[in-house]
Structure 1
Amino acid sequence: MCDEEVHTLFLAGKVTIAEIMNETHWSNPAVQNVMGRYPLHEVRLGNHHVPAGALLVLGLAAANADPEVHVDDSGHTFTNESHLAFGSGPHECPTAAQRLAKIIGQTAVERFLARCRTPRLRDDGAVQHGGSVIVRQLTKLAVIFTADTRTAVRHTASGTDALGESSRSSHYLFPPRMLTQLTSHITD
């Protein structure tokens, strides 16, 4: 699915930010490859013989491209969360860390979209990636937008807003939705 289709679906309310982020984990994972695995014994992977001690490169991005795993029966790609963005097996990120990472990422995107109206890429070279064969990272993202000053209230380090009014909590740096999700498990 192309970016314009995703944007159209989002504007129509047919997909959420969480679903778009999930799709991004499938189509453009940050960790592309895992290097340095060596079989202790001779193994057979598919139709290939791998001798003991051979360097193996696990292609996570390639594994995510398998349409039999990625697409559900109806052809919809946003529902399946079995991508490898958080690892798998004994080296998988802890569930709480995955949940926190998803909340932080989703909240950041939601806040950006609430505060920055009509965002669009500056030009054809607005998005650039760098990194290595292991990690793909964003090195440039040139976006043009109009700020919505009604929702963007600036807070100072002393805990007051732009009008000099005191914040009700020391947690004013957290968006309300994120704070609720982070603290929902705490009981008195």
Structure 2
Amino acid sequence: MKTWIALLKGVNVGGNNKLPMAQLRLLLESNGFHEVRTYIQSGNVIFRHQQSDRVNLAQSISEIIAAHFGFKPSVVLLTNEELAAAIEQQPFSDLSIEKDAKVLHFFFFDAAPTNVNQARLAASLHQSERLLVVGSVAYFHTPNGFGKSKLGAKMESVFGAPCTARNWTTVDAILRLVAGESAN
């Protein structure tokens, strides 16, 4: 069995798409998922499954949630190696997790984005912000805060592909949970 990390997009945000993590764990376990764990309420799920087809497995998770909770979130699936690589490849050498974990965001795409709207990107990126794409991860540094960024909410339309974001704190905590360490 393979260990997977599912990053669900847009759950438990602003009172929308409510998805209790305890219920999600039980639901996935009753549908053949093993050792299901969640991290915080924003749709981070670690599990083991015999399925190795990423696309089918992501679709299954989305459909299971739709059948029981009435909405169908998009799901990005990663292996623990891919999540570790995302942290290792973090391109901003002047940043540290100790001081910048809340202002560096990892946008995870299913595949490397190839349809970037450069004009929209230039119009949305504030001069204090930095954005670099490495493979299927866009690293977005927002020193003034993510909530003040114009680009954060436009990422999918700028890149022409669905994605989901997590800050560095969350990505690090998920990786620790996969490794069996405490997330705190």
TM-score (norm 2): 0.26
TM-score (norm 1): 0.25
Structure exhibiting the larger radius of gyration computed from Cα positions: 1
Q: Which has the higher relative contact order, 1 or 2, with Cα contacts under 8 A spaced 6 or more apart? A: 2
